[in-house]
Each structure stands twice: as structure tokens, then as C-alpha cells.
Structure 1
Amino acid sequence: MKLLVKAPAKINLSLDVLHKRPDGYHEVEMIMTTIDLADRIELELLEQDAILINSHNRFVPDDQRNLAYQAARLLKERFNIDKGVSITIEKAIPVAAGLAGGSSDAAAALRGLNKLWNLGLSMDELAQLGSEIGSDVSFCVYGGTALAKGRGELIAELPPPPTCWVVLAKPFIGVSTAEVYRRLDVNGIGHPDINRMISAIKTNDFEGVCSSVGNVLEDVTLSLYPEVAQIKEQMKRFGADAVLMSGSGPTVFSLVKHDSRMHRIYNGLRGFCDQVFAVRLLGERHTLD
């Protein structure tokens, strides 16, 4: 038996860090939404008790470092599953990009294995399990648009944001999320207006969304990697309605209302950056079907 599951990327419309917690994590408030850039996860039932990871992408680990592997192992151990699975990951989301590619792969594995192994778990139960794997996995289990709090695992659903294009550009560098957080001075940052963003999403106010984007990690990453700042400036110069770095970077995205401007930004960046994508917002939650 085989199953195919889509694993869409996410972007942060807002990312705020409130303080460092006693457990070493940072307390965050983030508004995330899924976009139509997705990995394809194929799950094949195995009779032998094994977890196999297959990918043609050399940056994707095929062992216990892989988050989809960790998802399968967690389910096997928690529910005493004696069958195995072969997980083939066809990457479209850039690796180490601030787009939650690995987390979304893990979430897709949880949703797919719930069906493949007939576990009968609810979406909330899968999201709770996902929080044991990584901070973004709970959101990726649900997909759609949400306010995430805690270390990212406390999820409150929001309606889809206003329809628009998203142009993404990732320079050929990797960013260490841990290093960015380590360098962040929580006491010296300005905070994005999360409530204003929520209000703009709920009223379908595209201009309000564009004027409310914010990411407190951006200044840290821009100071370490000037090429990220250059991408931001290029997007602004080509007429993006809003420009922001996603997560800890290095991917920068622009929100664009009009097709003609989207094409101008996309074509202008392709000669400037290795990985450029023009996609739509998804905004709708996953289902268990």
C-alpha cells in the first residue's frame, strides 16, 4: 500500500520573540500561513520493522536526523507498531530556508502514517505528537493560517489571509536558527503588532496585512548575511507590496497583488538569486481525508 501526501512550506507574516524561557527555548508569537510550494511525501507500507528514507536531494539526511524519520519512529514507539515504512521525499522546498520544509515533511508523515497504520488519531492528537519533534511541526500538521505561541506549539486557527502572489528568493547560503536566536537581544528589539495583523487577516485587508508584517529575527540575519538584505532591497525596488524574511532566513518573500508586478519581481530576481519561486497563498487547513 502506498500513500502520497503534500507537505507545503510556510511563511511567517509576523514573528515576535517575547523572552527566553527557563527550558532554554524562546517564547514566541508568530502568524504563519501555508503557501503553494510543497514537497511530495510517498509512504509505502513495509512488512519488515524498518524505517527507510529515500531522497535524491543530497542535503536531506536519510537517518534519524531526518524529521520525517523521527515522526515515524515516534508513532512506532508510542503505538507499538511492528510494521515499517519506506518514506520517499521529493523536495521542492529549499533546505534550511526558513520555510519549515523539514517540519512539514514530518507533519505529512504523521498525517499519512495515521492513515497507513490505521491509528485513528485526531488532528489535535497528531499536532501534540508533532510538538515533540520540532517547534513548527504542530502548525504544519494543521496547515492553513494560525497564531502560534509558546515555543510554536500552541496553535490558534485564523481565517485565510487575502489572496495574493508570494515571490520567494533564497540565496545559496544556510542559516543556523540556533545561532540567530543566540545573537538576538530580546531586550533591544521592536515588536511587530500581532493584533493588527490578526485584525487585517480577519477583515481581508490586504493593505493592512502588508503594513503589519514584521520579523524580529530579521536584523540579526541581515547583519550576518548582507546578501539577504540585498534581496530585500531588490524586491522593494521591483515594486513588492510587502517584503519580509521568513523564519530565521535566509529566504525572503514578497507579497504581491498584481500579476504584472509579480512577473517583474520574479524575473528580476532570477538573474540575482539561485532559487526563486512565485506561488499563491494556500490559507486552508489540512483534513484527515
Structure 2
Amino acid sequence: MASQVPVSRKLKEFIINKQGVSVVTTARLHMGFFDLNGNLGRKFGSIGVSLDKPATSLQVFAADTISVEGPSAERGLKIAQAIAQSLDIPHGFHIRIQTAIPEHAGLGSGTQMSLAVGSAINQLFNLDLSLRDIAVLTSRGARSGIGLGTFAHGGVIVDGGRGEGTDVPPIIARSEFPQEWRIILIFDRSHTGVHGAEELEAFRRLPEFPADSAAILCRHLLMQALPALAEHDLPAFGQAIRELQWRTGDHFAPAQGGRYASPAISKILGQLEADGVDCLGQSSWGPTGFAICADETDARALLDALESRYSHFPQVEFVLCQGINSGAQISTCSVE
């Protein structure tokens, strides 16, 4: 990968035809790790689902220099420069970011931006990189392969965690997310989740996760969550996810200030649990929370109730969305 990439015939065609590459990818929920103990030789392992929104959408065109505009432009530029330097790409390019998943909200914004930028550059310069190559180039997939799985395939993704020789956690299962189910995202705009160096330090300081708890969570995943998805059984799926949330959330509590990162979202999720909502929790390090409903009618009724009940929380926003069972969209676009 270190040798200089020649200017391809394909890039020349893009320039002549005044075309570029468009990538649209969406956020994901990271619902929890099921083996934080790792005494079998693999650690982490997680389950997550691709969402239809919010999205990161961008366009990449050949240019004289490397430049980026739009939301999260600073992050996009760092990713672009790192890729160009690693591959010694001999031509500039401009990235126009149209929308970006909120940063440090627990929705996978960094991974999706990295894969989107990398995939666009790959297509523009005809580099023949795999998604795994892009992840390694951009230092993604350190603990979870959920973001790569949702970018590639959408749906509900289970990854197998990290072994001694793992560079990117392998995807070991995928399921369709039931089309009738709906997801309410709960944002706290005043709070950011643990990330970067703080995240690394948090993992270093956390105590050992009990092996018996990891065994219980693996059983909930294999014998409850995945069969429940196949049968569209939301109460059973929700029970498995709540178990993941309780055990991992309490394990992470010293690093994030409680079972959930945001006090406001913690209060909301506690009330939803008391009200009997089947499936709820926090995505990754948060602060974004989620609740899954059986259908559109139930979701809109719950959304109305939440907006009314918590109107005194100005920093909190509720967004209705759904799972998406397809991966990122990569296509040719015209230079405007």
C-alpha cells in the first residue's frame, strides 16, 4: 500500500466527464458487548443495528489539492490526508460533506465518516481496496465490527470480537431488522459520550468483567436475541438487549457516571422501563438512548408522550426512525 498510486484511466474519465463519487451511509446503534471477559481468547463481541437516519452523505471530486467542506469537515480532512499519505496518492481531491452523523453521540459517526471517505477515494482512484483495508488504513474496528457490518450490509449485525491475530472483528451473524418495528432515538445535545484517549483510558481502568456474566450474555444473544429477531418477537428481543444494557452499563458506570452517560436520558430510560417498554438502552458510550416499538402506531404514540412529558428538558430531542436492511450507497455523481 505504500507505493505511489498511478493516475488511473478511470480517474481521467471522471475528470473529463466532470464526475465524482457520492457516498451515503447511516448511523448505527451499538447495543452492547457480550464478552468483556475474554478468557476464551476473544474479547468484546457486540450486536448493533443500522438506522435509516441520521446519515453521512458526501461527494468527492478530483482537484488540485486535498480539501474538505461541510459539517465535520475537520474530521473528514484528517481522514482524507491520512489515506492520501498512506497510499501516496499523486492527485488532489475535494470532498463536499452534505450531512454528517452527530459526533461523539454513540452512533458510529467516526467509523461511518472514515468508511465513506475511504470508499469514495477508493472508487475515484480505482484503488481496489476492500472495506477491511479501509478500516485498517483509518484505524477503525479497534473493538467492534458493527460499523463495518452496517456499512456493508445494513440490518442487525453481530461481530465476533478480537482474538490475538484480529485486525478487524469479523461479522459472524446478520439478520434483517423487522420492517414493522420502529426506533425512537433520544438525544442529549448538551452531553458527549466518552471517546478518543478518554475511551482508551476508561477501558484500561475498568475492572475485569466476570466470566459468568459474559457466559450469560452470550446465551441471551444466541438463544434469545437472534431467534427473537427471526420470529419478530420484540418482548424477547428486548429482554436480551436489556440484559446486555444492564450488565455492561453497570460495568462501564465508573467511567461514564452511571449505567447511562446522560442524567437526563437516564431518567427518561428509567421511566420507559417502569412503563413497560420492551426494548431500550444506550448506544455505545452514549449519550444517545433508544427505545424500540412494535410498529408505527405505537412509536408515534410514545413519541408524542415523550415530547409532552419532557418538554422541560430543552437539551433533549426525540427522533423517530427505523432499521435499514441495506448498506451504504456508492454511486457516480456530477460536478455541480
Verify same fold: TM over 0.5. Answer: yes
Task: Tell me which structure has the larger Cα radius of gyration.
Answer: 2
Pick from 219, 222, 229: which aligns with 1:195?
A: 222
**1:94 aligned partner:** 102
Deviation at 1:250, TM superposition (A): 0.9
Select 2:152's aligned residue among 142, 165, 168.
Answer: 142
Secondary structure at the residue paired with 1:154? coil
* Unmatched 5+ stretches in structure 1: none
Gapped runs of 5+ residues in structure 2? 1-18, 332-336
Cα displacement (A) at 1:48: 1.9
Residue identity matched to 2:265: V
Find the partner of 2:183 among 148, 152, 166. Answer: 166
Aligned 8 A contact 1:168 1:277 in 2? yes
* Inter-CA distance 187–232: structure 2 relative to 1 (3 Å threshold): same
Whether 1:36 aligns to 2:52 is: yes
Cα distance in structure 1, aligned partners of 2:91 and 2:150: 25
Q: How does 1:101-250 map to 2 (within 5 A)?
A: 101-130=109-138, 132-135=139-142, 138-139=148-149, 141-144=151-154, 145-148=156-159, 149-150=161-162, 153-156=168-171, 157-163=173-179, 164-171=181-188, 172-177=190-195, 178=199, 180-182=202-204, 184-187=206-209, 190-191=213-214, 192=217, 193-196=220-223, 197-213=225-241, 214-215=244-245, 216-219=247-250, 220=253, 221=256, 223=258, 225-236=262-273, 240-250=277-287
Q: Aligned to 1:187, what secondary structure does the other structure show?
A: coil
Change in CA separation of 1:285 and 1:91 when aligned onto 2, cut-off 3 Å: closer
The structure richer in helix per residue is 2
CA gap of 1:225–1:278, structure 2 versus 1, over 3 A, is closer
Counterparts in 2 of 1:152 and 1:194: CA distance versus 1, 3 Å: farther
**In 1, Cα distance between the equivalents of 2:46 and 2:26?**
18
Q: Can you list the C-alpha shifts for 1:208-252, whole angstroms capped at 9, x where unaligned?
A: 322210234423136264323112124335653311111011111
Q: Distance in 2 between matches of 1:162 and 1:186?
A: 35
Structure 1 counterpart of 2:208, one-letter code: V
- RMSD in angstroms over aligned alpha carbons? 3.0
Q: Secondary structure at the match of 2:43?
A: strand
Q: 2:30: which partner in 1?
A: 12
| TM-score normalised to structure 2 length | 0.70
* Contact 1:111-1:141 within 8 A present in 2 as well: no
Report Cα offsets for 1:232-283 as digits up to 9, x if no partner.
1243356533111110111110110122221132233332453321101013
Deviation at 1:173, TM superposition (A): 0.6
Answering whether residue 321 of structure 2 is matched by residue 279 of structure 1, we say yes
Q: 1:170, 1:276 within 8 Å by CA — same for their partners in 2?
A: yes
